[in-house]
Structure 1
């Protein structure tokens, strides 16, 4: 309660958990009842974390009518209270996650799925160090056609993309200043901002941290915050994979290394090539990649991004210092030797994404199998095995992949497959315009 005691102006709190799509699901509660939430938690039906992108129940889910739609227990995460500075009235957010009434973690909760992977690393005496790169578009969605919003400074609209352009950043300086101030209030470690390759597209990097759960929290909260702050300025911020046909889409790249019990980076052996553990991790990532594609590209629109020559990988391969590769080993000081995973779109659930990557890497470290040789040159010109090319193929590959079954519980796999099959069915009824309208704010 110390945070609330220091902020007596806060009259309401939101308690929220991430569903399988990463959508926040929760309740609005008067702040005077915060003591009860902290000590007793709150209750949601299990099915709330297993809704489709429209917020509808999954029609054939055993969590709903078959079992009477029972309640689960949701307790605060270690994050605690934080402000919601994009709201008009002083409010606080309390992140929560799901347990069975007897206190056991609920396996269908995405955050619990990541905690399970973190526990596997701890049991092996290892600690992953994680950072994410958050790409998003700012969009004027007030008319029938999506456009880049006018600059709050000049009132003018940009007419072209400018990669790493200070002018493009400065045109929205008020927005970015506000966003960084809010990140500081929420303890989100936002670092460098750049303008990206598409019109109105930007990227903000998160600092590396030896706590994958906090890294996932930060990515989830950053998406929520960025959308809220953008609306303060009269435009939308969207993490949709590809809002425009003519521009490249948005990714959510992840960098990671792994420390042993003495704090040494197990990917570093004093050479640019890296240690055997790095290659073993890469092997695990490559073997799991076909099955993991549904995690990295969870929506229909995601597959518009995964096309050749569009700054997103399509082939299953790895390389040193090569941004056409799905798995890139960046140039760095030896002690900072790390892996960059470049497949995921901005529309992912960060908890599932980080769990899928770290889980597959640990599988590889445990199996000690070397990957195929790293390639050189343009990945799009290589004869590489390809990612599933359609949403339908990705769903079925995920459902049957043995590597995925080593990472996620069968319960979560079943829930996600049912969710995506239902979405696939009903998305066929939408026009292109309705698809954009659906995904623009939800993902």
Structure 2
């Protein structure tokens, strides 16, 4: 059975951007919590100028809440310290139309005395990029964002219906032009809204699972903006999908038998003369690139919690697919956690394939760029590249599950060195609370297994 027929974007009265309609009477002042979720306030649009100048106060605890929006007891910011305020300031990005019905003013949080609050991932990434500035290097970064379009009327994940004669919704149809054409009005509006927000989108493809798609964002030498773009772009996809009768899903693995959603990050580095320091004129890549690879491998397992921050994330990191399970690298090898793509030497870069689409881009970029620079500064040397299926080799492994990932993240010296001790403490407390909530739930499957058998 087919769902409602699709309207092209020019036929859909809800598809025009806020800027093309009457100005909204309200706006959203929004910070980004550690899970990459907007938290904030709805305010009168007339107050936007004042907010951009003076900021707004919100509790420090609000940026460290768990996935359900509950205060995290382990941060000791609420009852223990009176739930004191932080200061939220405009990021300088301006007001954006992300499809929420009213404009969004992106903000970030500092402490009352002016110091950064490193539970805010934007501060974390700024801190990493300052280390790059000190050594005269500039990362050039781009992300690939994967997601599913689901039927919003189903309780369980189910591929979105199409119009009559469209491709069947329960088959793999990778790189299908018919799949792209079917959701053309949705894609068109995403491109338009992204462009209005200063987000440059490259290609869109139909991915390797039913109604799964991927957008590639353009490389840019501003890693902070690249992380912002990735986060804001996810919101655009989600909100535009809703207007077209779909539910956009960024879960790492909503279907047990289909591919998951990745957040692959490509990056290179420029020196002060604008030259790509990963390029040495050969297929191998420069010693600096190899040191960056070594740094990423050295910290990767301990950083798994950043790349796979949720219970569901670990259903994606399993053998049998192209998502990695081992800590390895290779040239043109998509089974490896780090892939060195082929192509012109001048474009030599590293593709980091571990993170899932459910991760916070600010944290993912911080861990990747911080790990790469750590390897360069320490002049590390990577092991031999992997030329076969990395799942089947005797390599170090990523954390095997959510609990092991948390244990490694908290205990590792590298996480506090590459990221920041304040962030490590807050993020670990958040993930511990989330794990405790899941562990306390008795599932239907658990009941059916043990109710009469033991």
* Shorter-chain TM-score above 0.5: yes
Match of 1:376 among 374, 387, 406: 387
Structure 2 gaps of 5+ residues are 1-17, 446-454
Q: 1:153 to 1:125 in 2, by over 3 A?
A: farther
Give structure 1 regions of 4+ aligned residues with deviation exceeding 3 angstroms. 4-8, 152-157, 429-434
Match of 2:330 among 308, 316, 319: 319
Match of 1:197 among 199, 208, 215: 208
* Whole-angstrom distance in 2 between the partners of 1:139 and 1:432: 24
TM-score normalised by L of structure 1 = 0.93
Post-superposition shift, 1:60? 2.9
RMSD: 1.8
What is residue 23 of structure 1 aligned with on the other side?
37
3-state SS of 1:284 partner? helix
Post-superposition shift, 1:146? 2.3
What is residue 11 of structure 1 aligned with on the other side?
25
Residue 77 (str. 1) matches residue 75 (str. 2):
no
What is residue 239 of structure 1 aligned with on the other side?
250
Does the aligned pair in 2 maintain the 1:193–1:204 contact within 8 Å? Answer: yes
* Whole-angstrom distance in 2 between the partners of 1:213 and 1:117: 10
Post-superposition shift, 1:35? 2.1
Does the aligned pair in 1 maintain the 2:75–2:425 contact within 8 Å? Answer: no
Does the aligned pair in 1 maintain the 2:166–2:182 contact within 8 Å? Answer: no
3-state SS of 1:66 partner? coil
3-state SS of 2:268 partner? strand
Does the aligned pair in 1 maintain the 2:98–2:232 contact within 8 Å? Answer: no
Q: How many residues align?
A: 428
Does the aligned pair in 1 maintain the 2:174–2:208 contact within 8 Å? Answer: yes
Q: 1:237 to 1:431 in 2, by over 3 A?
A: farther
Q: Deviations over 1:173-208 (max 9, x none)?
A: 111111111111211111100011111110000000
* Whole-angstrom distance in 1 between the partners of 2:277 and 2:201: 26
Residue 298 (str. 1) matches residue 312 (str. 2):
no
Residue 391 (str. 1) matches residue 405 (str. 2):
no
What is residue 439 of structure 1 aligned with on the other side?
none
Residue 259 (str. 1) matches residue 270 (str. 2):
yes
Q: 1:361 to 1:156 in 2, by over 3 A?
A: closer
Post-superposition shift, 1:293? 0.2
* Whole-angstrom distance in 2 between the partners of 1:154 and 1:42: 52
Does the aligned pair in 1 maintain the 2:146–2:250 contact within 8 Å? Answer: yes
Does the aligned pair in 2 maintain the 1:153–1:172 contact within 8 Å? Answer: no
Post-superposition shift, 1:158? 1.9
* Whole-angstrom distance in 1 between the partners of 2:341 and 2:365: 19
Q: Deviations over 1:287-316 (max 9, x none)?
A: 000111000000000000000012200010
Q: Deviations over 1:80-137 (max 9, x none)?
A: 11223352xxx21110001122322212211100000011100111100000000001
3-state SS of 1:319 partner? strand
TM-score normalised by L of structure 2 = 0.91
What is residue 348 of structure 2 aligned with on the other side?
337
Does the aligned pair in 1 maintain the 2:149–2:212 contact within 8 Å? Answer: yes
What is residue 440 of structure 1 aligned with on the other side?
none
Post-superposition shift, 1:211? 0.5
Residue 95 (str. 1) matches residue 106 (str. 2):
yes
* Whole-angstrom distance in 2 between the partners of 1:432 and 1:374: 43
After TM superposition, the structure 1 stretch with the greater mean CA deviation from structure 2, 28-37 or 138-147, is: 138-147
After TM superposition, the structure 1 stretch with the greater mean CA deviation from structure 2, 385-394 or 5-14, is: 5-14
Residue 214 (str. 1) matches residue 230 (str. 2):
no
3-state SS of 1:63 partner? coil
Q: Deviations over 1:134-189 (max 9, x none)?
A: 00011113123321111257577523111111011111111111111111121111
For 1:66-215, list aligned pairs within 5 A.
66-87=80-101, 91-152=102-163, 154=165, 157-215=168-226
* Whole-angstrom distance in 2 between the partners of 1:246 and 1:432: 21
Match of 2:291 among 277, 280, 292: 280
What is residue 426 of structure 1 aligned with on the other side?
437
After TM superposition, the structure 1 stretch with the greater mean CA deviation from structure 2, 415-424 or 372-381, is: 372-381
* Whole-angstrom distance in 2 between the partners of 1:386 and 1:326: 10
Does the aligned pair in 2 maintain the 1:284–1:362 contact within 8 Å? Answer: yes
Post-superposition shift, 1:232? 0.8
3-state SS of 1:202 partner? strand
Post-superposition shift, 1:405? 1.4
Does the aligned pair in 2 maintain the 1:86–1:229 contact within 8 Å? Answer: no
* Whole-angstrom distance in 1 between the partners of 2:352 and 2:115: 32
Does the aligned pair in 2 maintain the 1:86–1:232 contact within 8 Å? Answer: no
3-state SS of 2:269 partner? strand
Q: Deviations over 1:373-427 (max 9, x none)?
A: 1121111221111111010000010011111111121111011111111100101
After TM superposition, the structure 1 stretch with the greater mean CA deviation from structure 2, 34-43 or 276-285, is: 34-43
